[in-house]
Amino acid sequence: MAHSATAPEGLYIHVPFCFHKCHYCDFYSIVENDADRHKRFAKRMLGEVDALLALAAAPALSPVSIFIGGGTPTFLDCEAWHLLAEGLNSRLDRSRLTEFTIEANPETVEPELLTLLLEVGVTRVSMGAQSFQPALLKALERWHEPASVGRAVRIAREAGIGQVNLDLIFAIPGQDMAALEADLDAALALEPDHISYYGLTFEPNTALTRRMELGQVQPVDEDLAAVMYERILDRLAEAGFEHYEISNWARPGRTCRHNLIYWRNDDWLGIGPGAASHVAGQRWKNAPHLGLYLASQHLPPMREIEAPDPARALGERLMMGLRLREGVARAWLDQALGADDPRRGVLEEAIMAGLIEQTKTHLRLTRRGLLLADAILTRLV
Ligand code: SF4
């Protein structure tokens, strides 16, 4: 890393604290509300930034976008936030910065914090709404009141935050089409700039998956989930949203710069326990363990370090690129994919089956292909 245009485009900051563990969640997060630990965490995180800067012999990080995720960053103690905000100010070169997002749980959004975040430079809040139906939030064991989402969006707007994303989930156990329509109505009424709408997945080692295995919750039927996704496609298009990634929609000009870094396989640096990084073909992940993180010096312990071989790296780039509605450039593909690469056959098969289409310049998923995206994309890695 150097302090130049070659520096990673993205900076991801992982705040691991939550006030409750949602049952579907497989992110590294811990339920802890100890102000001293929050402050120690903020100091340690600045120490990690210093270690990275020393390694790169750079005076400051100069990302194009910053994303503070979690966990629940808005749950971090206010004093810890002040420490982090002040520390980041002196370690950031903002000359390239175009987007600064923070994830928020609606229940933890307060005017004082939003004003501080605006001062730090936050331009975008990603609000974890998931659903507006109490019964569906209960099915997910998600602890917030539906009305808190609107309240939090208002606070963010009043504080002067320019862009608001709503995170939503469909195919929640117990959800029917009427409940989906009600969620879409409620979400659109808040006039977000961006919507991320993911189908629920039952991740291994989560409380929700255990409840499913015990027969306590029934997953939504796959066909119904597909109908729901198609309804989301139609409703958000009617409402003027641009569909730019399988699960993401934006008002014109409001795409998420940071997530595009991941989908375009650009470089980003992650700090905090459990954060992943991707720089110059190398990938690593900090060990997801707050105790080890706090006890460490310089760089924190890492769990995985790898440099994927060129064939795999190409497959991953192809898979991520096809997630985007623009698809992947045919010129790049022709040059990158060897004549006897078996993935050519996979792509041709998908084209014949009407799952992928060729535009003049790109290959992209068709509407039918969107419904079967996982099955297609996993064959390309
Ligand atoms: S608030 Fe987010 S990170 Fe925390 S437990 Fe729930 S889903 Fe996971």
Tell me what pLDDT residue 308 has. 84
Tell me what pLDDT residue 3 has. 39
Tell whether ligand 1 has an atom less than 6 A from the beta carbon of residue 206: no
User: Any idea where the domains of the chain sit in the sequence?
Assistant: 10-263, 309-381
Tell whether ligand 1 has an atom less than 6 A from the beta carbon of residue 16: no
Test site for ligand 1: of 19, 20, 25, 169, most ligand atoms within 8 A of the Cβ: 25
pLDDT in tens, the chain (381 residues): 433 434 899 999 999 999 999 999 999 999 999 999 999 999 999 999 999 999 989 999 999 999 999 999 999 999 999 999 999 999 999 999 999 999 999 999 999 999 999 999 999 999 999 999 999 999 999 999 999 999 999 999 999 999 999 999 999 999 999 999 999 999 999 999 999 999 999 999 999 999 999 999 999 999 999 999 999 999 999 999 999 999 999 999 999 999 999 999 999 999 999 899 999 889 999 999 999 999 999 999 988 788 888 888 999 999 999 999 999 999 999 999 988 999 999 999 999 999 999 999 999 999 999 999 999 999 998
For ligand 1, atom 2, which residue shows the shortest CA distance?
A: 71
Tell me what pLDDT residue 347 has. 96
> Ligand 1 centroid to 288 CA: how many Å?
15
Q: Specify the 3-state DSSP secondary structure of 12.
A: strand
Contact 65, 261 (CB under 8 A): yes
78-91 vs 111-120: helix crossing angle, rounded to 10: 10
> Ligand 1 centroid to 132 CA: how many Å?
17
Tell me what pLDDT residue 178 has. 98
> Ligand 1 centroid to 104 CA: how many Å?
10
Second CATH level (architecture) for the domain 309-381: Orthogonal Bundle (1.10)
Tell whether ligand 1 has an atom less than 6 A from the beta carbon of residue 21: yes
Tell me what pLDDT residue 305 has. 87
Tell me what pLDDT residue 37 has. 96
Tell whether ligand 1 has an atom less than 6 A from the beta carbon of residue 22: yes
Atom of ligand 1 nearest to the CA of 20: 5
Distance linking the first and last C-alpha atoms of the chain: 27
Tell whether ligand 1 has an atom less than 6 A from the beta carbon of residue 130: no
For ligand 1, atom 8, which residue shows the shortest CA distance?
A: 25
In 3D, which of 74, 89, 85, 68 has the Cα closest to residue 12? 68
The model carries a pTM of: 0.95
> Ligand 1 centroid to 31 CA: how many Å?
10
> Ligand 1 centroid to 176 CA: how many Å?
24
**Which CATH number applies to 10-263: 3.10.580.10, 3.20.20.70, 3.90.1150.10, 3.30.2130.10?**
3.20.20.70
Residue 349's identity, in one-letter code, is E
Tell me what pLDDT residue 50 has. 96
191 phi-psi bin (left φ>0, alpha ψ -120 to 50, beta other): left
10-263 shares its CATH topology with 309-381: no
